[in-house]
Structure 1
């Protein structure tokens, strides 16, 4: 069982429908809409560079198999044999580093982890400050100078750090393992955004009001579960218990479906955007010149690398099926 990704649909942790569909929703949200990722693509010199950078990131994304899965399997096997001992899954990797690696290599691993952490935090703080300053603060005070906006962004970063520190004690109430906590929270944020973005680029029939209501609905429904999770034991046996008892991957899929239905219904009763407003924002409204430009930038290496990433991913699923 420990070597298989595809488990029973009734599995309490990773049911196969959740792995197939829920993981797709979370992955689509993260790689296609998350500011943390999108800001890097937007910094490219052109479409070709952005596409090549994305392909390279696709190869890098395969590394967690060796960073998370393989060390976890090694730690589990060594614990069963009594070679090492740890109390929780979060302690598995630190225990391997502390007890098995020589001093020099141990320092390199720790230095790499610290460097990666600092890079991730820097990007996170930059994205958060940008979103707050440009998308919220500047909307209410459009006359603000660049210097003032820079100051507001710095204050927003400080506020985010403080809120993050205050949230740490609550994390253990939501999930026992850090990675499980991260995935659980992402599964509550991703469905609404992924549904709105996916439907929005695929069809012109969905209205701006449907998109707004879909985002708000997805956020509210996701936050309801997030707020209730720390009180899971207290609400056991009540009508609200199903919200926290449902597998997090299944809840992610349910949330996605609910937002899609809401958007479809709202679109029937609200005014669609004009052709001018939608120009270049949906697949059907992309101009022929843009499509020709994109097609002209493709060469054999784009197809080779795309096939390579899909092939490696397929092999991993086949090997651990």
Structure 2
């Protein structure tokens, strides 16, 4: 964003990427360390309307520059993305598509979605901050409405940027987007390029603030949830008598360690690929299956043992790290011979790999659980669906009404409409 919007390439002879990346991480760490969860929630609430307003302005000005919705669909629909006739406007692609086969997307996205929205402390901490079950549920439904907006925040502006790029090249001039060293348009630069070239100065600054606030909010959530997990699940477990005040201090130290690890990870992140979205999906597709398998069986099957869950998580971590290591190695190696290992851990489509890895982790959890002692009824009471008491079921039923059902149906209908239009 800084490089595209403000044209800052270097500062004091240092690549500005590093100054911005490390600076933002450190600034975010400071207010998270001293502000905790409250600071995370306040910044999330403040940045959302700024980002929404800025993206709405980009949509309007982008369509004005391009010539409207139909022109965008025509330009994007004219470009095929594979040998099977699918274009850039198709969400559902051939099952032989190299990047997003429809069956892989159905399986892989469900696994990644379940892991992220249902088990990741990053998200779960927001639900747990609700005063009761009704608040938590309705907060989640409102979150689902907000989650529909990225179609207009990122998907449509991305299509506008691509269509403008095609239009500029077709007119014989330079493309709208900056180019990478390999000759491809820089996909990561689409949003900041729209901001830099279409928005007036004052609004431009506002949107950049919104983008940075969104980034810092995500970082703050990560720091806070990671520190809390370490403090409560590890430190307090081994030292249960630790006073609350000292636990806060331990959480702050844990945050500092996580910040350092995050900064050290940046070079690895940059070596995986040119497109940031591809990197994120690669990492999520190997992180999600082990956690999703252990959690799903843990809440659905009373026979799942602690050992089964642990070995499911360990197997997922080992396979995931192997896949990630293979990605870093093969992406940077010049000439490598084909092998079964290379096919499984590098060549296989990331969505299909996610599905097979999930199945493998489920098998590990089941086999180890059956081979070890079953958990006692007291140990899993209230943690597995089959153990809910009549009182718990009654409390859950009393926490929702027909309005929750209506809003859920509306969200599903809008989601279905998106898929139908971009089929």
Q: TM-score, normalised by structure 2?
A: 0.73
| More divergent stretch after superposition (210-219 vs 145-154) | 145-154
Q: What is the rounded CA distance, in whole Å, between the counterparts of 1:300 and 1:51 in structure 2?
A: 13
Q: Give yes or no for contact 1:18–1:249 (8 Å, CA) kept in 2.
A: yes
Secondary structure, counterpart of 1:240 in structure 2: helix
Greater relative CO, 1 or 2 (CA 8 Å, sep 6+): 1
Structure 2 residues without counterparts, runs of 5 or longer:
1-86, 169-174, 180-185
2:401 and 2:244 mapped to 1: Cα distance? 41
1:51-200 equivalent positions in 2, closer than 5 A:
51-82=137-168, 84-87=176-179, 88-200=186-298
| Aligned: 1:237 with 2:329 | no
Q: 1:111 deviation in Å?
A: 1.5
Residues 1:222 and 2:320 are matched in the alignment? yes
Measured in 2, the distance between the counterparts of 1:44 and 1:145 equals 25
Note the C-alpha offset of 1:229.
1.0
Residue 237 (structure 1) shift = 2.0
Residues 173, 229 of structure 1: 8 Å contact kept: no
Summarize deviations over 1:68-124 as a string: whole Å, max 9, x none: 110110000000111613221111111110011111221221121122222222211
Distance 1:208 1:159 in 2: 28
Greater Cα radius of gyration, structure 1 or 2: 2
- 1:14 paired to 2:100: yes
Q: 1:29 aligns with which of 100, 111, 115?
A: 115
| Secondary structure of residue in 2 paired with 1:186 | helix
1:140-195 superposed Cα distances (whole Å, 9 cap, x missing partner): 33343333332222222122112211211211221221122112111111111111
TM-score, structure 1 normalization: 0.96
Gaps of 5+ in 1: none
| Residue 418 (structure 2) aligned to one of 297, 303, 316 | 316
**Secondary structure of 2:91 counterpart:** coil
Match of 2:124 in 1: 38
Deviates more, 1:78-87 or 1:126-135: 78-87
